[in-house]
């Protein structure tokens, strides 16, 4: 049995990973500050679900080395999966200092505190945003990294921190994953599938940036969780970087058609200019992840749309948010790039 600590474990991807690991009889501690980027209520809800399955919640900030060290030491952690971050490409245009502080300083803390406290393995979450404008597709791990957002710069800097660690401490086992647009139930409220389905079910207008022909490698969170687990346990993953997507490329307009098919409601759309921090296309070459990790994406964008729509209906998400004013920030537009 492995003792996992998941930073950002109350978030969208983190809580799915925590539940998956608990299902495999692993020990899981989630470490999260319940930041107010989006409703902390939703994060507490995720965390309580993890706790009900036997996980431990530690409320803490990755900017506090002391607190993080205590969580690792007290829970006898062997493996850290680092997901805590300030996400949001567009948000980083207005708030570059948040992305840089939390993603760079926070990741530096996670790396040093883990190493100093005997953690055997650390999986670091980067992003496809490190690539910037697509120069060829599908994008393999060697694709040039020239980010066009402050968020992308923050994630590329975390990759450089890991590279220095690998150089200075070759015995320290690290792996970097670069997720491509992750989709599924409980997705963040600033992301496309959440916005599309919530708005369609509320009969509200969806604002599309660009003409909707931009494409993404939409990655079901179930596939992503599989990749995180494999990265944590597979010895061949040591000091490697992996692009993790579905290995498919689907346009926003095609996704809207899936949303219409699943909900039975025709979306009401308006179109505005592409955001300058958005990239036009993403498409992961997942050959390396398949070869070294044994990664096999099974779930599709259609599964993710169905899962999210079901989740929305189950918890009557729209009404809950409206009635309790749970959203602090208005995410009226789509974040249709890889955060």
Ligand X SMILES: NC(=O)c1ccc[n+]([C@@H]2O[C@H](COP(=O)([O-])OP(=O)(O)OC[C@H]3O[C@@H](n4cnc5c(N)ncnc54)[C@H](O)[C@@H]3O)[C@@H](O)[C@H]2O)c1
Size of the site for ligand X (CB under 6 A): 31
Return the number of the residue (10 or 176) whose C-beta is nearest ligand X. 10
CA distances (Å), origin 316, targets 38, 189, 310: 18, 14, 10
Catalytic residue among 31, 151, 229, 317: 151
d(CA 61, CA 197): 32
83 binds ligand X (CB under 6 A): yes
326 binds ligand X (CB under 6 A): no
Return the number of the residue (63 or 274) whose C-beta is nearest ligand X. 63
Stretch in the footprint of ligand X (CB under 6 A) among 60-68, 89-97, 136-144, 246-254: 60-68
Asked if 127 contacts 158 with a C-beta cutoff of 8 angstroms, the reply is no
225 binds ligand X (CB under 6 A): no
Stretch in the footprint of ligand X (CB under 6 A) among 81-89, 192-200, 274-282, 285-293: 81-89
How many other C-beta atoms can be found within 10 angstroms of the C-beta atom of residue 36?
10
Q: Which residues contact 103 (CB under 8 A, 6 or more apart)?
A: 85, 86, 151, 154, 155, 157, 158
Residue 116 burial (C-beta neighbours within 10 Å; 0-12, 13-18, 19+): exposed
Return the number of the residue (102 or 200) whose C-beta is nearest ligand X. 102
19 binds ligand X (CB under 6 A): no
- When CB distances to ligand X are compared, the closest residue is 11
Residue of 327, 304, 301 lying closest to 202 (CA atoms): 327
Stretch in the footprint of ligand X (CB under 6 A) among 69-77, 134-142, 181-189, 312-320: 181-189
Query: Least distance (Å) from ligand X to the CB of residue 203?
Result: 26
106 binds ligand X (CB under 6 A): yes
Stretch in the footprint of ligand X (CB under 6 A) among 164-172, 176-184, 232-240, 292-300: 176-184
d(CA 339, CA 336): 9
Residue of 17, 64, 11 lying closest to 37 (CA atoms): 11
Residue 184 corresponds to which tokens in the numbers above?
């599924």
Residue 311 falls in the annotated catalytic set: no
Residue 13 corresponds to which tokens in the numbers above?
């991807």
Active site residues: 151
Residues that bind ligand X (CB under 6 A): 7-8, 10-14, 32-35, 37, 43, 61-63, 83-87, 102, 106, 125, 127, 179, 181-182, 188, 338-339
């Amino acid at each position: 049995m492995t003792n996992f600590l998941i930073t950002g474990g109350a978030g969208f991807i983190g809580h799915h990973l925590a539940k998956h690991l608990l299902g495999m009889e692993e020990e899981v501690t989630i470490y999260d500050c319940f930041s107010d980027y989006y409703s902390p209520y939703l994060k507490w809800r995720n965390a309580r679900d993890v706790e009900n399955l036997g996980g431990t919640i530690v409320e803490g900030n990755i900017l506090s080395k002391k607190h993080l060290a205590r969580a690792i030491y007290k829970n006898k952690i062997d493996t850290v999966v680092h997901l805590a971050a300030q996400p949001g490409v567009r948000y980083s245009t207005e708030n570059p200092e948040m992305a840089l502080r939390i993603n760079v300083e926070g990741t530096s803390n996670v790396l040093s505190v883990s190493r100093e406290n005997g953690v055997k393995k650390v999986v670091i979450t980067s992003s496809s945003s490190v690539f910037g404008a697509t120069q060829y597709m599908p994008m393999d791990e060697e694709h040039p990294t020239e980010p066009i957002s402050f968020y992308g710069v923050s994630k590329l800097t975390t990759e450089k921190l890991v590279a220095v660690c690998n150089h200075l401490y070759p015995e320290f086992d690290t792996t970097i994953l670069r997720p491509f647009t992750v989709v599924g139930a409980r997705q963040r409220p600033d992301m496309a599938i959440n916005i599309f389905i919530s708005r369609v079910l509320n009969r509200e207008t969806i604002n599309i940036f660009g003409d909707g022909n931009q494409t993404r490698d939409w990655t079901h969170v179930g596939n992503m969780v599989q990749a995180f687990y494999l990265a944590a346990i597979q010895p061949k993953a040591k000091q490697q970087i992996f692009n993790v997507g579905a290995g498919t490329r689907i346009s926003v307009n095609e996704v809207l058609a899936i949303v219409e098919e699943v909900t039975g409601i025709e979306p009401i759309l308006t179109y505005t200019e592409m955001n300058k921090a958005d990239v036009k296309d993403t498409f992961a070459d997942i050959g390396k992840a398949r070869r070294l990790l044994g990664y096999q994406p099974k779930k599709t964008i259609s599964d993710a749309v169905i899962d999210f729509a079901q989740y929305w209906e189950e918890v009557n998400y729209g009404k809950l948010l409206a009635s309790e004013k749970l959203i602090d920030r208005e995410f009226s537009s789509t974040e249709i790039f890889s955060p």
